[in-house]
Structure 1
Amino acid sequence: MSDKKECSGEMIPANINDILEELPEDKRKVIVSTMLAIEERSYSGPLPSPEDFKAYEQTLSGSTDRIMSMTEKQVDHRIDMEKTIVKKKFFQSTLGQVLATILILFFGFISYSLAMNGHDTVAGIIGVTTVIGLAVVFVLNKIPPIYQKGEQ
């Protein structure tokens, strides 16, 4: 009896059910019960599973408290980082609005001065491009993609 089949030049394992059917009943029961006894565990989360906690504590006394302490420190750190990020983004947004207002006033004054001195075309170009450019940034709340580096 071969436990592998040839398929396009490669040896691959045969179907386990075919092999089990060829075995006597008593051997088949032993193999099936052994196969069913194999267990796979997975756990997802910031902390180990309760069974793992128990095993850690049995291996090294006090390890559960150390793990909890590390987890609490990590959570506190993450919360502090999120607060810092929110504050920085708010500051950046506010600074951008203040600078945009200053630019509008500056270029508005230049356009007005040029218009008063007989340079209507140049004044119109500067005024319109400034207002349109900043309006696009304010309305979209971002720089248009054609001006961002690395994007196509």
Structure 2
Amino acid sequence: MNDNQPRDSEETKAPCPQSQNTEKEIYQPDELDILDKLEENPQLISKIIAKFHSGPLPSPEDLTIYNQLIPNGADRIMQSVEREQSARIELDRHKTECDINYINKSLQLQQRGQWIAFVTVLLFFILSFLLIWTGSPVLGASIMGASLVAIVTIFITGKAIKSKSK
């Protein structure tokens, strides 16, 4: 049989054509008309149609079936979904509160650290000024210079650490 010639009418009307030859057969779209087969065999249509549903709840048809199979099945499913949703909302609320508390504590620690640093720097400047005033200008200037170098270094490394963490 030539590959371009149509096959027997029995073979084209069969619901699931299978080759009797052991040789590999090449599929040719014009040989097999799927729509004609579906019209001839409605049972094949019911096997091809599928139902898809996406979401947290079953479809209304499925809820009706659950209600028929299980006493108050649809109501029980809805209550379960409502409990899950309220638990999820409560968990999100708790997480948000924890995040806010964490941020507030971090800000408090930063402010406290800034005040301690300010007081420390102020004490070093006062000490330097007193040393210069009492007649030790070299020692006073050394303490003041070292304090300024330390402050500038802390600010530069602090900004570098923040930029790396972002």
Does TM, scored on the shorter chain, surpass 0.5?
Answer: yes
- Residue 14 of structure 1 is aligned with which of 15, 27, 30? 27
Contact 1:3 1:14 in 2 (8 A): no
The percent identity for this pair of structures is: 21
What secondary structure, in the 3-state scheme, does the structure 1 residue paired with 2:32 have? helix
Structure 1 Cα separation of the partners of residues 38 and 122 of structure 2: 95
| 1:115 positional shift | 2.7
Letter in 2 for 1:125: V
CA distance in 1, matches of 2:18, 2:97: 65
Decide whether aligned partners of structure 1 residues 28 and 48 sit closer, same or farther in structure 2, where only a CA change above 3 A counts: closer
Measured on the aligned residues, the alpha-carbon RMSD in Å equals 3.5
Note if 1:123 corresponds to 2:147.
yes
Whichever structure has more strand as a proportion of its residues is 1
- Name the counterpart of 2:63: 53
| CA distance 1:94–1:100, shift in 2 (3 Å) | same
The 1:26/1:45 distance shift into structure 2, 3 A limit, reads: closer
Which TM-score applies when normalising by structure 1? 0.66
**Are the equivalent residues in 2 in contact too, given 1:56–1:64 (CA < 8 A)?**
yes
User: Residue 66 of structure 1 corresponds to which residue in structure 2?
Assistant: 76
Q: Kindly tell me: are residues 44 and 147 of structure 1, through their superposed partners in 2, closer, same or farther at Cα, counting changes over 3 Å? A: same
Pairwise CA distance, 1:47: 1.0
Which residues in structure 2 correspond to 1:1-152 (within 5 Å)?
14=27, 17-21=29-33, 29-30=39-40, 33=42, 36-37=45-46, 38-116=48-126, 117=128, 118=140, 119-131=143-155, 136=159, 143-144=162-163, 146-147=164-165
Cα distance between partner residues in 1 of 2:26 and 2:120: 81
User: 1:60 Cα deviation (Å)?
Assistant: 1.6
Which stretches of structure 1, 4 residues or more, deviate above 3 A after TM superposition? 1-4, 25-29, 33-37, 128-134
Unaligned runs of 5+ in 1: 5-10
- Please, what TM-score do these two structures have when normalized by structure 2? 0.62
Q: How far did residue 40 of structure 1 move?
A: 2.2
- Matched residue SS, 2:56: coil
Distance 2:26 2:104 in 1: 65
Alignment gaps of 5+ in structure 2: 1-6, 8-16, 129-139
Give the distance between the partners of 1:28 and 1:94, measured in 2 at CA: 68
How many residues align structurally? Answer: 132
1:20 Cα deviation after fit: 1.6
